[in-house]
Amino acid sequence: MSFTRRHFSKIAGMAAASVLAPSALRATGAEVSGQKIGYCIVGLGRISLGHFLPGLLPSQHGKVTGLVSGSPDKAQKVAAQYGVPAASIYTYEQYDQIRDNPAIDAVYIGLPNSMHAEYTIRAAKAGKHVLCEKPMCTTVEDARAMIAACNAAGRKLMIAYRCQLEPANLRAIALIRSGAIGQVEAIESAYGFNIHPGEWRLNKKLAGGGPLMDVGIYSLNASRYLTGEEPQVLSAYSSVIDRDGRFDEVEENVGWTMKFPSGIVASCNTTYGANMDGYYKVHGSNGIIELSPAFGYDGIHLRAQVAKPGGGQGHDEIDMPAPLKDPQQFMVEGDYFAECVVNNKPIKMSGEEGLRDMELIMQIYRAAGMNTACITGGTQDAGSGREV
Amino acid sequence: MSFTRRHFSKIAGMAAASVLAPSALRATGAEVSGQKIGYCIVGLGRISLGHFLPGLLPSQHGKVTGLVSGSPDKAQKVAAQYGVPAASIYTYEQYDQIRDNPAIDAVYIGLPNSMHAEYTIRAAKAGKHVLCEKPMCTTVEDARAMIAACNAAGRKLMIAYRCQLEPANLRAIALIRSGAIGQVEAIESAYGFNIHPGEWRLNKKLAGGGPLMDVGIYSLNASRYLTGEEPQVLSAYSSVIDRDGRFDEVEENVGWTMKFPSGIVASCNTTYGANMDGYYKVHGSNGIIELSPAFGYDGIHLRAQVAKPGGGQGHDEIDMPAPLKDPQQFMVEGDYFAECVVNNKPIKMSGEEGLRDMELIMQIYRAAGMNTACITGGTQDAGSGREV
């Protein structure tokens, strides 16, 4: 790791906008293993092994205390690497036994999308807090059930929207809220990649949907956190162009447009057929903010042109270099959740936040299926769209 | 001028994909004044004075031989500058008299949008060819009438889509057609600016519409020439956010999405409320082409990443510096039209091309008014949009 605790503290402060002092680490109704929250990692795939687990290594407030995997060999190897006792390795069948492991305070769910709901609900029933990867699940009904289960158990549920803790994204939000770029008029965003055949993401039963579920959700969620509004109406198109067997179950491309109550129009694209670097541009009356890349594990870069204070000629240039390197975003995420658990603080990337995206994803899919969708009956600007 | 005739010949060859040798300059049914087409400039506003007229100075095949203006002082000054005889200066009331001026072969119409139709039709009736600025006009009916008038008079009509002659845009098209970036999946494009109060563009009677008519048309036209397809379905939203009096007559923002028969989805944005550099990105299965800026008078820049021939690892980078400086695009445009007139060649930016955009603009406006629009009844991909 190329960063220090001291460095981390600064980053975490920037990212979570809170001070994570050791004195803050007191249990408030949750079981806490000493100074650190104990995470049980559910699913030892790419995101767990390559990102979340390495992110816990330098963590102040989180550590790995359990593993759930269908592959005993892999689990034993990871357990040895991270110092997890053999008794804290579980198969999926044994998963409910985490209830009896006091070293496990929370689970991190890094499973294929369609398994999120079941493993969240079982964790809640076992008395554990849940940090669940996005998309939250694959249906609105599952999202509601996940929230209900965590509420019923008195346990926290967070969806892993790490960009909402990432400094460049937070800076973009702060610049917008400060009025630095004036009135936001339009947002453009895209994220996609050219998928390899055989990925579980192409299996609708596991993934729930195509690129919209997987990476389009970044543009969707960003449009909401950048505007601070909920879309009023939206429209969408999807298509399959490459008839090469990859897209027999899920869509290849989705383009969708959302109009927000203020009048801001957001245009988003996602694909599994082309490498589309995740980015967004926020067009304001007095400036522009561009994050490119905006959503990756590494190298997120903000560039902005904002009007000079006092109305001077020209613009000030803001060029914010990428402050976090992989897996630091995961460290911040794991620590933010731990801090919310320990201090019983509200979580901004709550289950309700995930539910809102799930509802919108379904509305986008419906819109793509029938060319239009109406989200709410809210009034619109004269001369602009009206509901059909 | 920083370029030479030799330089120009090379540029024109690149741009118009044709050789403009002097031997090609023979009259084929059109009146031609010696070696050069004589243009009468109709409207002495910014685009005429700042771009088209300077563009004619180094032209091989065009020269200014007449002026039409409501301002005698301005007209006399421009006439002196460009060597136009006093007898070839006309007021709008005298416009039809160009019929009797054999030095005038064609008109260049640089008037507010709502005047394009009338001055095109009157020019055709006076026996003159017409090079008309975009948007072609402000209604579909006018566009049809303009085409009919030019056809009836046996005169050429070209809409000034200069990007269709611009080397970087042509290179983008050629790269796409060659398969260099694989199958195109999605296109993103935007163009807009923060308009000053009092511009004629804000007057609906003169402009016909807002930014969609004025600069959004670049993204619309580019989506068509990049795909080589016509949109099958589209949806759109418009809004007015800045209630500062500028947008009492025309819209401030439009975002629209088009789906093409191949499945390509194009997302476009335009605004009069923010400075939105004109650009496009073409996302292909094996690469990306980005023109940024894509539509300006100067500095158009192509950057592409294309798969290595033979399937090698990584990508080849193409970074094509801006080859034309203002007013060279206008020189190319004036010469292309002249050559089509002289050789009686079909014009790719024909009246029909302009009509197609006018039809789509109206469909986008209708879609923004009712959240959806159906262009054709063509079948679509299973699982994707269907007409409502």
Per residue in A156-196, pLDDT tens? 999 999 999 999 999 999 999 999 999 999 999 999 999 99
Measuring CA to CA, which residue among B263, B233, B244 is closest to residue B202? B244
Find all residues with CB under 8 Å of B7, minimum gap 6, and list them. none
Burial state string for A229-257 with b = 16 or more CB within 10 A and e = fewer than 16: bbbbbbbbbbbbbbeeebbeebbbbbbbb
The model's pLDDT over A247-261, given as tens digits with 9 standing for 90+, comes to 999 999 999 999 999
Measuring CA to CA, which residue among A351, A331, A346 is closest to residue A36? A331
Confidence (pLDDT) at B12: 43
CB nearest to B267's CB, from A251, A255, A274: A255
Indicate the pairing of strand A265-271 with strand A302-307: unpaired
Half-sphere exposure of A359 (CA within 13 A, CB side): 14
A249: closest chain B residue by CA: B383
Question: Are the beta carbons of B386 and A370 separated by less than 8 Å?
Answer: yes
Region A93-97: mean pLDDT is 98
Q: Are A110 and A70 members of one domain?
A: yes
Question: Are the beta carbons of A368 and B386 separated by less than 8 Å?
Answer: no
Euclidean distance between CA atoms B316 and B287, whole angstroms: 9
Question: Are the beta carbons of A233 and B237 separated by less than 8 Å?
Answer: yes
Q: Are A106 and A12 members of one domain?
A: yes
Q: Give burial (CB, 10 Å; 0-12/13-18/19+) of B249.
A: middle
Quote the minimal CA–CA distance from A147 to chain B in Å. 30
Q: How many structural domains comprise chain B? A: 2
pTM: 0.87
Confidence (pLDDT) at B32: 43
Confidence (pLDDT) at B171: 97
Return mean pLDDT, chain B: 88
CB nearest to B255's CB, from A186, A194, A387: A186
Other CB atoms within 10 A of residue A139 CB: 15
3-state SS of A173-239?
HHHHHCCCCCCEEEEEEEEECCCCCCCHHHCHHHHCCCHHHHHHHHHHHHHHHHHCCCCCEEEEEEE
The model's pLDDT over B37-78, given as tens digits with 9 standing for 90+, comes to 999 999 999 999 999 999 999 999 999 999 999 999 999 999
B280: closest chain A residue by CA: A188
Q: Which residues of A are catalytic?
A: 134, 218
A373: closest chain B residue by CA: B371
Quote the minimal CA–CA distance from A348 to chain B in Å. 28
Burial state string for B261-283 with b = 16 or more CB within 10 A and e = fewer than 16: bebbbbbbbbbbbbbbbbbbbbb
Q: Are B236 and B130 members of one domain?
A: no
Question: Are the beta carbons of B388 and A369 separated by less than 8 Å?
Answer: no
Question: Are the beta carbons of B385 and A265 separated by less than 8 Å?
Answer: no
Does A114 score more than 60 pLDDT?
Answer: yes
CB nearest to B369's CB, from A194, A269, A386: A386
Euclidean distance between CA atoms A41 and A38, whole angstroms: 10
Q: Is residue A12 part of a domain?
A: yes
| Catalytic residue, candidates B108, B161, B191, B218 | B218
- Banded pLDDT at A1 (limits 50, 70, 90): very low
Q: Are A65 and A209 members of one domain?
A: no
Collect all residues of chain B within an 8 Å Cβ-Cβ radius of residue A369. Answer: 383-386
- Work out whether the CA dihedral B15, B18, B24, B27 comes out positive or negative: negative
Q: Report yes or no: B375 and B234 within 8 Å, Cβ to Cβ.
A: yes
Q: Is residue B47 part of a domain?
A: yes
Q: Are A100 and A131 members of one domain?
A: yes
Quote the minimal CA–CA distance from A112 to chain B in Å. 23
Q: Report yes or no: B384 and A251 within 8 Å, Cβ to Cβ.
A: yes
Here the CATH number for the domain that contains residue A273 is 3.30.360.10
Give bridge partners of residue B55 from the DSSP assignment.
none
Task: Say whether the ipTM exceeds 0.90.
Answer: no
Quote the minimal CA–CA distance from A255 to chain B in Å. 6
Quote the minimal CA–CA distance from B257 to chain A in Å. 7
Measuring CA to CA, which residue among B239, B246, B210 is closest to residue A262? B239
B270: closest chain A residue by CA: A186
3-state SS of chain B?
CCCCHHHHHHHHHHHHCCCCCHHHCCCCCCCCECCEEEEEEECCCHHHHHHHHHHHCCCCCEEEEEEECCCHHHHHHHHHHHCCCHHHEECCCCHHHHHHCCCCCEEEECCCHHHHHHHHHHHHHCCCEEEECCCCCCCHHHHHHHHHHHHHHCCCEEECCHHHHCHHHHHHHHHHHCCCCCCEEEEEEEEECCCCCCCHHHCHHHHCCCHHHHHHHHHHHHHHHHHCCCCCEEEEEEECCCCCCCCCCCCCEEEEEEECCCCCEEEEEEECCCCEEEEEEEEECCEEEEECCCCCCCCCCEEEEEECHHHCCCEEEEEECCCCCCCHHHHHHHHHHHHHHHCCCCCCCEHHHHHHHHHHHHHHHHHHHHCCEECCCCCCCCCCCCCC
Q: Report yes or no: B80 and B86 within 8 Å, Cβ to Cβ.
A: no
**Can you tell me whether residue A254 is helix, strand or coil?**
strand
A271: closest chain B residue by CA: B185
Indicate the pairing of strand B287-291 with strand B302-307: antiparallel
Does A128 score more than 70 pLDDT?
Answer: yes
CB nearest to B239's CB, from A194, A254, A384: A384
| Catalytic residue, candidates B36, B63, B128, B134 | B134
Q: Which helix (H) or strand (E) holds A363?
A: helix A351-370
Q: Are B212 and B100 members of one domain?
A: no
The model's pLDDT over A261-302, given as tens digits with 9 standing for 90+, comes to 999 999 999 999 999 999 999 999 999 999 999 999 999 999
Question: Are the beta carbons of B183 and A267 separated by less than 8 Å?
Answer: no
Q: Are B228 and B141 members of one domain?
A: no
Which amino acid appears at position A383 of this protein? G
CB nearest to B235's CB, from A183, A188, A257: A257
Collect all residues of chain B within an 8 Å Cβ-Cβ radius of residue A194. Answer: 285
> A with B: how many residue pairs have Cβ under 8 Å apart?
218
A193: closest chain B residue by CA: B285
Q: Report yes or no: B349 and B158 within 8 Å, Cβ to Cβ.
A: yes
Q: What percent of chain A has pLDDT over 90?
A: 82
CB nearest to A383's CB, from B238, B275, B386: B238
User: Is B95 among the catalytic positions?
Assistant: no
**Can you tell me whether residue A362 is helix, strand or coil?**
helix
| Range with lowest mean pLDDT among A373-382, B244-253, B360-369 | A373-382
Q: Is residue A75 part of a domain?
A: yes
Confidence (pLDDT) at B322: 74
Q: Are A149 and A219 members of one domain?
A: no
Other CB atoms within 10 A of residue B100 CB: 9
Confidence (pLDDT) at B308: 83
Q: Which helix (H) or strand (E) holds A341?
A: helix A328-342
- Banded pLDDT at A94 (limits 50, 70, 90): very high
Range of the domain at B140: 5-162+342-349
Confidence (pLDDT) at B122: 98
Mutate to test the interface with A, among B235, B248, B271 (most CBs of A within 10 A): B235
Mutate to test the interface with B, among A193, A242, A267 (most CBs of B within 10 A): A267
Mutate to test the interface with A, among B183, B185, B238 (most CBs of A within 10 A): B185
Confidence (pLDDT) at A322: 74
CB nearest to B386's CB, from A185, A371, A374: A371
CB nearest to A185's CB, from B235, B253, B288: B253
Collect all residues of chain A within an 8 Å Cβ-Cβ radius of residue B388. Answer: 370-372, 388
Euclidean distance between CA atoms A194 and A197, whole angstroms: 10
Does B333 score more than 50 pLDDT?
Answer: yes
Q: Is residue B294 part of a domain?
A: no
Quote the minimal CA–CA distance from A213 to chain B in Å. 16
| Range with lowest mean pLDDT among A50-54, A115-119, A266-270, A304-308 | A304-308
Mutate to test the interface with B, among A181, A195, A233, A237 (most CBs of B within 10 A): A237
Confidence (pLDDT) at B381: 25
Indicate the pairing of strand A62-68 with strand A37-42: parallel
Which amino acid appears at position A357 of this protein? D
B154: tokens are 């046996």
The model's pLDDT over B170-209, given as tens digits with 9 standing for 90+, comes to 999 999 999 999 999 999 999 999 999 999 999 999 999 9
Secondary structure letter of residue A376 according to DSSP: -
CB nearest to A285's CB, from B242, B262, B374: B242
Quote the minimal CA–CA distance from B308 to chain A in Å. 15
**Can you tell me whether residue A350 is helix, strand or coil?**
strand
Q: Are A221 and A258 members of one domain?
A: yes
Confidence (pLDDT) at A371: 34
DSSP A10-72: HHHHHHHSS---GGG---SSS--BTTBEEEEEE--SHHIIIIIHHHHTT-SSEEEEEEE-S-H
Question: Are the beta carbons of B269 and A265 separated by less than 8 Å?
Answer: yes
Quote the minimal CA–CA distance from B386 to chain A in Å. 5
Q: Please give the backbone phi and psi of residue B64, each rounded to the nearest 5 degrees, phi first.
A: -90, 130
Indicate the pairing of strand B157-159 with strand A129-132: unpaired
Confidence (pLDDT) at B314: 80
Euclidean distance between CA atoms A163 and B254, whole angstroms: 28
The model's pLDDT over A36-85, given as tens digits with 9 standing for 90+, comes to 999 999 999 999 999 999 999 999 999 999 999 999 999 999 999 999 99
Collect all residues of chain A within an 8 Å Cβ-Cβ radius of residue B238. Answer: 265, 381, 383-385
Which amino acid appears at position B133 of this protein? E
Q: Give burial (CB, 10 Å; 0-12/13-18/19+) of B29.
A: exposed
Region A211-239: mean pLDDT is 97
Mutate to test the interface with A, among B305, B371, B381 (most CBs of A within 10 A): B371
Q: Are A221 and A370 members of one domain?
A: yes
Q: Is residue B332 part of a domain?
A: no
Region A345-368: mean pLDDT is 96
Question: Are the beta carbons of A239 and B372 separated by less than 8 Å?
Answer: no
User: Could you check whether the bond before residue A293 is cis, i.e. omega within 30 degrees of 0?
Assistant: yes
Q: Report yes or no: A191 and A295 within 8 Å, Cβ to Cβ.
A: yes
Here the CATH number for the domain that contains residue A138 is 3.40.50.720
Euclidean distance between CA atoms A53 and A60, whole angstroms: 13
Q: Is residue B314 part of a domain?
A: no
Q: Is residue A327 part of a domain?
A: no
Q: Please give the backbone phi and psi of residue A12, each rounded to the nearest 5 degrees, phi first.
A: -65, -35
Question: Are the beta carbons of A388 and B371 separated by less than 8 Å?
Answer: yes
Q: Is residue B231 part of a domain?
A: yes
Euclidean distance between CA atoms B211 and B216, whole angstroms: 6
Confidence (pLDDT) at B311: 75
B198: tokens are 């009092």
Does B315 score more than 90 pLDDT?
Answer: no
Which amino acid appears at position A125 of this protein? K
Question: Are the beta carbons of A257 and B265 separated by less than 8 Å?
Answer: no
Collect all residues of chain A within an 8 Å Cβ-Cβ radius of residue B259. Answer: 237, 239, 255
- Banded pLDDT at B212 (limits 50, 70, 90): very high
Region B217-221: mean pLDDT is 98
Does A26 score more than 50 pLDDT?
Answer: no
Question: Are the beta carbons of B384 and A252 separated by less than 8 Å?
Answer: no
Other CB atoms within 10 A of residue A146 CB: 28
Quote the minimal CA–CA distance from A354 to chain B in Å. 25
Collect all residues of chain A within an 8 Å Cβ-Cβ radius of residue B314. Answer: none
Phi-psi region of B230 (alpha: psi -120 to 50; beta: other; left: phi over 0): beta
Question: Are the beta carbons of A273 and B236 separated by less than 8 Å?
Answer: no
Measuring CA to CA, which residue among A137, A138, A132 is closest to residue A155? A132
**Can you tell me whether residue A299 is helix, strand or coil?**
coil
Q: Which helix (H) or strand (E) holds A374?
A: strand A373-374
Other CB atoms within 10 A of residue A313 CB: 6
- Banded pLDDT at A204 (limits 50, 70, 90): very high
Q: Are B156 and B243 members of one domain?
A: no
Q: Are B147 and B225 members of one domain?
A: no
Q: Please give the backbone phi and psi of residue A133, each rounded to the nearest 5 degrees, phi first.
A: -65, 160
Q: Report yes or no: B37 and B349 within 8 Å, Cβ to Cβ.
A: no
Q: Report yes or no: B318 and B304 within 8 Å, Cβ to Cβ.
A: yes
